[in-house]
A and B are shown apart, each in its own frame.
Chain A
Amino acid sequence: MKLLPTRFLPERPMRLPRLRPYVPQPTDPPIFWFNSERDDIVREVVRRIVESKAQSGRMELVLNDVAYHEAERLERQRDQESRESLGFWRGVLRRVGRMSDAEKKETLRSITEHMVRDIAGNFDARVYSFATKAVPKLLTGVMSPSKLHTALREEHPKALDDLLITEGAIDKLQNLATKGTLVFVPTHSSNLDSIVLGYALMRERLPPVSYGAGKNLFTNPIISFFMHNLGAYRLDRRIKAALYKDALKTYSTVLLERGYHSLFFPGGTRSRSGLIEQHLKLGLAGTAIEAFARNQTRSIERPLWFVPTTINYALVLEAETLIEDHLKEQGKARYIIEDDEFSSIDRWVDFFRKLSHLSSACVIRFGEPMDPFCNAVDADGHSLAPDGRKIEAGSYVRHSGQASVDAARDAAYTTMLGEAIADRFLRETVIMSTQLVAHVLFRAIVAATPGTDLFGRMRHKGDIAMPVDRLHAEVGEARDAILALERSGFVHGSPALQRDPPELIVERALQFWTGYHTTPVATYVGAEVVCEDPALLHYYGNRLVPFATRIAPENLAAAAREIAHMGHRS
C-alpha cells in the first residue's frame, strides 16, 4: 500500500530543529515527556482502532465510509490536497470489495496512522520556557508600548496581571496536579480562551495542558506555532468519516490514561449568544471516564478530576460576529467561522489597545474539582459521599466486585457529568460590569417594546434611552441581587462589581465598549444613556439570563420573564 500520499492532510505546523533535546526532570508535569512517548501513543491508538474494527468484522464498512467521505470532501474542496489525495480515496473505494482481510487490515492501519499522526501534537520545552517568559511581556508591549520597558524586567508584568484575575480553588488544584490527572472544562466564548487560560495556568503554577484545537485556529502561523509546540493537537472539523472521530476519541483516551492534564471545551463551540452553555454534550471530555475505567481494569490507581472553570470577559474579541451569527441562526451552517475578529490582526491590536487602559478585563474562576462521577473531592483528591465520608471513585466502574469498561454505562455517566458541569457553570460564573449594565439596558428595551419579537427589538437602534439616574438605580439594585445570590452559593460578582458604586460600574462598562466595538453599544446623551446596539446589549446581557427573574424588581418582572424565556429557546 504505497498509494497513500505523503501529504495526506495539509500543512504540518512548524517545529524547531532538535539540536539539544530537553531532558525532562522528575518534577516536570507529564506533558514534558510527551515527545518521547508520542510514537508509542500513536502506535497504541492505531492498534486499538484496527483491532476493534477487525474483531467486530467492520473493516470493509469502515474503509468504505472513510473513503467515501474523504472523496466527497476533496471533490468539494478542489485544492492542492484534492489533487494529491483524491485518487487515493477513489482507489480505495474501487478496490475495497476485492481486498483480502490482510490487505484491508493493512490499508486501515496505514490510513489510521496518517490520521493519528496528523492529530498528534508536540511539546517543546524550549517553546514553553520562551512562552512563559516572553509572551506576557510581548502582550504587555502590544497593549501599551510605554510599559514595555518595565515589563521586560518583571517576571509577571503588572499590566497583564491587572488585566487578568484568577480566583477559585487554585491551591487545591496545585496539590491535585501532583497526585492525578486534571481535566479542565471551561466555558467557551472566544478563541482567546485557550491562550488566556494557558497563561493563567502558567501564572498560577498549574501544569500545562494538552487540548484539541480546531484546525482553523492553525491558520495563523504564529498562533499555530505556539499551539502546536505547547501540546495542542489538531482536530479537523471538515473530516466527517467515523474513523476520524474514533481516532480523536482514542487519542484523547490514551492521553488521559497516561495522566496528561487536559483541557476540553464541553460546549463544543463558542457560545454564539453569550448565554452560559447549558446543554453540554461533552464530546471528547467524555473519554476521561473511559480512560479512568480502563486504568481501573488494569489496577492502575490514577485518579482523575474535572475542574469546571469559567472564563469571564468584560469585552469579547469576537462579540460582533458571534451575536450576528446567533441572530442569523446560522450557527450550524457557519460552524467554522474563519473570517471573524480572531483572524484579523487589526482587531487584535484594537482589542489589546483598548484593554491597556483598563483593568480586570477577564476573570478566570477555577471551580471546585469533582471526580468523574460528580462527587466532591477533599484537599487530597479523595472522593466524598454527600455525607462527607470518603468513598472510592473506582467503585463506580465496578459491579459484583469486577471493574469493567462499558460504553453504555460510561455514556450514562457522561450525560450526568454534562448536567453537573452545566450546573457548576451557573454557580461559578463571574458577572462582569459590562454584562450587568448590558442586561439592565436590554431589559429596558424589552420592557419598552411589549409584544415585539427578538428581531423586531434588534431594529431599535438608538431610539430607546434610559435616564442616567434610573440606570444607576437599576444597576445598583441588580448588583445587590447578584451579590445576594453569591452569598447563597450561586454566581459571583467580579471584584469591580463588588467594589464600585453603580455610577462607576456604568462608567466602566461604557468605557470598555467605546473604541473597541465598531458601532457604539450605549452612549451618554445629556442625562440619558441611549441603547445604540441592541444586538451587543443582548449578547453581553445574556450572561445574566439564568438569574434574570431573580434579580428583577417587581415592575420589571414581566420583561425579566420574557428574557428568561429567550434563554430557554436557544
Chain B
Amino acid sequence: MTLRVGVVGGGSFGRGIATAAARAGNDVVLWSRSAQTATSTTSGVRTDESSVTESSFRTSGELSALAGTELIFVAVPSPHVREVARALGAHLDGSHLVVHVSRGLIGDELRTITRVLREETPVVRLGALAGPLVAEALLAGTPSGAVVGSLFPEVGAAVRTAIAGQTLRIYTTDDVAGVEVASALVGMIALAAGFALGIGAGPSALAVLCTRGIAEAQRVGARLGARERTFAGLSGFGDLVAAVAGDERPEIKLGRALAQGKTLAEAGHAAGAYIEGVSIARRVAAFAEHAKVDAPIAATTAAVVDGRLSPRDAVMSLMARQVMTE
C-alpha cells in the first residue's frame, strides 16, 4: 500500500522523513520555506510550476501542494508551528492525518503542539512522533525506533506505512500528551545532562540526574494530562538515553558550552540550532511553581541559563536537597 505523504519543513529532520517515506515507495511532497523564497526570487512572479523534483521526492514552495496528500508530517521548530499551521490549515479538511515531530510546548501554559494544530487547522486526526529518531538514521536507514502518540489508531498505522521498515520500529500509544510532554522535557533534561558532562560528572551522577529528571517530567506531565508510564517509553527514557549516549544533540552541546563558562549567546552559537531546552526550562520552572509541582531540575537549569547560578553552585544546590523516597 502506498500513501500520498506530505512533509512540512525543509530542515534536516523534514528531509529525513521525506527520504524515508519515498524509500518506502510512497508518493512524497515536501514543502519548505526556502523553496518558496527560491521560486519567488528567481521568477519574480508566482507560477503554477513551483514544484521541482529533488532526489526521490518533490519539493514545493506552495502549501497548497499538500492538499492532495493523506498523511502530513509537520517538522518545523515549535515557535513556528502556529504560524505554519495556520497557513497549512487553509488547504486541509477532516480527511487529513497530521503528525508533528516538533519538540516543544507552547507558551507559559505549556500547550501541546497537537493542541495548537487543533486550534489552527480543521484536522482532528492528529499525532505526535517522538523518540530517539534522528535525521541521520532516517537518511541512512540505520536501525532506530520511535513512538507515535495519537487517539486515532489509523494515525499510527499510516505513520508505519509511511516510514517504518526493517530498520525502523514505530510503536504507538494513545497518550498523546505523554509523548509530547516527555519529548519536550527530555530536551530540558539533556541540557542539564550536557551541563553535568561539561563539569566532569561521572556516569553515576549522570544517571541520578537523568532518573530524577524523568521523575520530575512525570510530575509536570501528570498536571498536563499525561500518563506516567509513557515517560518510561521511547519518547522519555528512550530519547534521553540516545542523547546521553552521544547522538550529537544540540542540547548536550549547549549544556557543555555553558559549563565551560560561555554566555548563553556564545553557547547557542556553538550548538548551532534552535534549542527548545533553553526556553522550556524557564517556562517549566514557572509553571511548576504556579501549579505547586516540585521541579528542582527545571528551576536550577533555568537559573544557570539565565546566569543566576554558577555551574558549581547549581550542582551543589541539587545535591543539598532533602532526600525523599523514590
Contact = CB atoms under 8 A, between A and B. Distances in A.
Interface of A: 373-375, 383, 385-387, 389, 391-401, 406, 408-409, 412-413, 415-416
A386 B152 contact: no
A386 B120 contact: yes
Given A386-B120, A399-B70, A413-B124, A392 B152 contact: no
A408 B97 CA distance: 15
Given A396-B95, A415-B151, A374 B124 contact: yes
B89 interface: yes
Contact of A412 (B92, B94, B95, B151): B151
Contact of A395 (B3, B94, B151): B94
Contacts of B119: 386
Interface of B: 3, 70, 86, 89-90, 92-95, 97, 119-122, 124-125, 151-154, 174
Given A386-B119, A393-B94, A398-B95, A406 B154 contact: yes
B93 A391 contact: yes
Nearest to A388: B90
B89 A409 contact: no
B154 A409 contact: yes
Nearest to A385: B122
A383 B121 CA distance: 13
B113 to A, nearest CB: 15
B95 A387 contact: no
A406 B155 CA distance: 13
Interface centre among B70, B122, B152 (most CB of A within 10 A): B122
A395 B95 contact: yes
B90 A387 contact: yes
Contacts of A401: 95
Nearest to A393: B94
Nearest to A414: B151
19 contacts: A374-B124, A385-B89, A385-B92, A387-B89, A389-B90, A391-B93, A391-B122, A393-B94, A396-B94, A396-B124, A396-B125, A399-B70, A399-B97, A400-B70, A406-B154, A408-B152, A409-B154, A412-B153, A412-B174
Given A408-B153, A416-B151, 16 more contacts: A374-B124, A375-B122, A385-B90, A385-B92, A386-B89, A386-B119, A386-B120, A386-B122, A387-B86, A389-B90, A395-B95, A399-B70, A399-B154, A401-B95, A409-B125, A412-B174
A413 B124 CA distance: 8
A304 B154 CA distance: 24
Contacts of B120: 386
B118 to A, nearest CB: 9
Contacts of A399: 70, 95, 97, 154
B124 A385 contact: no
Contacts of A406: 154
B181 to A, nearest CB: 18
Contacts of B94: 373, 391-398
A408 to B, nearest CB: 5
A411 to B, nearest CB: 8
A262 B125 CA distance: 27
Contacts of B121: 385-386
B152 A412 contact: yes
A374 B151 CA distance: 15
A227 B122 CA distance: 39
A293 to B, nearest CB: 12
A486 B174 CA distance: 35
A408 B125 CA distance: 12
Contacts of A395: 93-95
A137 B152 CA distance: 51
Interface centre among B89, B94, B95, B124 (most CB of A within 10 A): B94
A401 B70 CA distance: 9
A392 B89 CA distance: 14
A374 B3 CA distance: 27
10 A-B pairs closest in CB distance: A396-B94, A395-B94, A385-B122, A412-B151, A395-B95, A395-B93, A391-B93, A398-B95, A408-B153, A412-B152
B92 to A, nearest CB: 8
Contacts of B92: 385
